[in-house]
Structure 1
Amino acid sequence: MKFDNILVPVDFSEFSDKAVAYALYLAETHGSNLTLLHAVVLHQEDVEEEAHLLDYEELVKKKEAQIQRKMAGHNEQAGRRGVKINAVTVRGIFAADTILDYIDDHDFDLVVIGTHGRTGLNKWLHGSVAEKVVRVSPVPVLSIHQNVTEYRIGKILVPVDFSDYARQAVEAALGISRQFDARLEFLFVLEQDLHPAFYAGGVGSLFTIDAELKQRTTDRLREFVGYTGENAAYRVLEGRAFNEIVETASSEDCDLIVMATRGLTGLEHLLIGSTTERVVRFSTVPVLTVGRNKSFDDQ
């Protein structure tokens, strides 16, 4: 997977500062070109009290000047680490759409974005720019949680559901493993519910009903991945997929989760959501999501 050109959407919050720090780590490691993008969405900006006295164009220019001063701080930080950045501001109506349009118009290999981890009513009212970018972006997106403190890739968790989408995640993870000499943990989560009668009889696991199920599934997982390197392990669990993924990443001290996103939109997304989206929201481990429209190059 290439890291030549990296985009980091920034809003100067602690969340985006984490994303910038992680992107700088990648840029140092790979000599990447780094672009910081701020979407100027005036009705969502923290404008000053005299805003109502200014006409729209004057207000936008005033805000853009403030943004450039903030960008200078990131420039100084990058300069101390030998990384050059391109600071860009783009006007738009919706931040996520502005970011996605910018991605479409340029040749980026990766987007690194901070995630707020909103839930419940707050998420319903405000939405999440990061989640929409993850869901729709045609290039891989690396989501960085606010609690990330270490910047390294030594162990990668790769959840697999045997779909064609998952093959892209496997391909990306194998490439990153080679680049960082990282270990791999491939995971399949069986989500099939038991009939209540089994619980009444003291049976709480499909693996109890079918003693060979775990081994058969593990064999299928190995075959699907098609990788025989000694740095890989294979794990089969049962439960809710996003819970098991998040908990495994934490308990196994993984540095990165690599997953596929199916790009659900509209009513389908509203009703179903996605395992990937929930993992991005709740995982404190960085999550790399890969889409359907971008091939991977291991250069």
Structure 2
Amino acid sequence: MKNVNILVPLDFSDLSLKALEAASVFAELFDGAITPFHSFISLSDVEMPDVSSKDELASGHEELEKKLVEKLNKTAADNAEAKFLNEGLVQVGNPADAIIEAAQNFDLIVMTTHGRTGFSRLIMGSVAEKVIRFAPVPVVVVEEGSKVKPLKKILLTTDFSDYSLKAVPFARSIAEASGAHLDVMHIVSFEQFGSIPQIQAATDTRKKQMRELVDERFGGMKDQVTGEVVSTQKSIHEKITNIADSGDYNLIVMATIGRTGLEYLRLGSTASNIVRHVDTAVFTINPRRLKGAERQR
């Protein structure tokens, strides 16, 4: 990761400003630039009894866009260093769709799960969840309690599938640039197996895979990396949530698709549950949607 162009959607709520704080960390690490972003519903989709012509409508759009860009620029300047900031970008359309479309020209999205609407982060179909599912670039999701700076401790989750391993280069880049310690973790859930011997055999196999992963993918920085296989009677997402809550992590890095190949929003998926329940910032990668993913298959 280098010269990273970061898109930061804002709805001007206090919570959304946390995204600027987190984006500044990545801009500092990777010589990046931050573009604050806002989308709004077209005036043509709103009942406007005082507008009698297309010219008036167009004029209203131009004036609204101008004011929104000014507000974006001021908000960004108040919450991030000027050296990182690009001109604000405003786009007409549904927020999630507008963010996904704009992301084609960026390398990273940093956003919060909910803002001005006040909707709970647990509601399916939120803007953040749709962006995570369909964005062509990694998405960092930030919560009120997220503490990305100083970036000292990172958790990378893996199930050793090709999909989950797509997250490895991102985790390595962030750890190298920040000097943070990186815990690479695999969870063996008892509910996946029918007997104690099966659990033990699976655990032994996964420990071997973990040693190989650390040796092969983190050479030259192994003093900065710890690989661990953890067994649990809980579900995988519950265990990861508990580990995140008790481990003082600044960032969790994970792919949104793993061994099963199921999409992120499939009910009960590990990734969706973690994003909904942890306060730690989560750096998500959808291997199927990443730019160039088709060429890599």
> TM-score, normalised to structure 1's length?
0.78
Calculate the aligned-residue CA RMSD, in Å.
3.2
Distance in 2 (CA, whole Å) between partners of 1:155 and 1:295 is 29
Q: Does 1:237 align with 2:231?
A: yes
Indicate the residue corresponding to 2:120 in structure 1. Answer: 118
Q: Which amino acid letter does the alignment assign opposite residue 232 of structure 1? A: V
Q: Which amino acid letter does the alignment assign opposite residue 221 of structure 1? A: M
Residues 207/57 of structure 1: CA separation in 2 closer, same or farther (3 Å cut): farther
> Are the counterparts in 1 of residues 36 and 88 from structure 2 also a CA contact under 8 Å?
yes
CA-to-partner distance for each residue in 1:46-91, whole Å, 9 max, x for gaps?
Answer: x9xx964346545544533442342132243267553332201011
- Residue 182 (structure 1) shift: 1.4
- Residue 31 (structure 1) shift: 2.9
Residues 139/40 of structure 1: CA separation in 2 closer, same or farther (3 Å cut): same
Q: Which amino acid letter does the alignment assign opposite residue 223 of structure 2? A: E
Q: Does 1:24 align with 2:17?
A: no
Indicate the residue corresponding to 2:210 in structure 1. Answer: 221
Residues 72/187 of structure 1: CA separation in 2 closer, same or farther (3 Å cut): same
Indicate the residue corresponding to 1:148 in structure 2. Answer: 146
Residues 270/209 of structure 1: CA separation in 2 closer, same or farther (3 Å cut): closer
Output aligned runs, 1:270-285, within 5 Å. Answer: 271-272=266-267, 274-285=269-280
Distance in 1 (CA, whole Å) between partners of 2:291 and 2:167 is 11
Q: Which amino acid letter does the alignment assign opposite residue 172 of structure 1? A: F
Q: Which amino acid letter does the alignment assign opposite residue 258 of structure 1? A: V
Q: Which amino acid letter does the alignment assign opposite residue 259 of structure 1? A: M
Unaligned runs of 5+ in 2: none
> Are the counterparts in 2 of residues 241 and 275 from structure 1 also a CA contact under 8 Å?
yes
Identical aligned residues as a percent = 31
- Residue 26 (structure 1) shift: 2.5
Distance in 2 (CA, whole Å) between partners of 1:68 and 1:207 is 60
Residues 162/269 of structure 1: CA separation in 2 closer, same or farther (3 Å cut): closer
> Are the counterparts in 2 of residues 166 and 259 from structure 1 also a CA contact under 8 Å?
yes
Residues 169/280 of structure 1: CA separation in 2 closer, same or farther (3 Å cut): same
Q: Which amino acid letter does the alignment assign opposite residue 255 of structure 1? A: N
> What is the DSSP-based 3-state SS (H/G/I as helix, E as strand, rest coil) of the residue aligned with 1:90?
strand
CA-to-partner distance for each residue in 1:103-148, whole Å, 9 max, x for gaps?
Answer: 22x1x2211111128355xx25xx3111111111111111111222
Indicate the residue corresponding to 1:135 in structure 2. Answer: 133
Q: Which amino acid letter does the alignment assign opposite residue 114 of structure 1? A: T
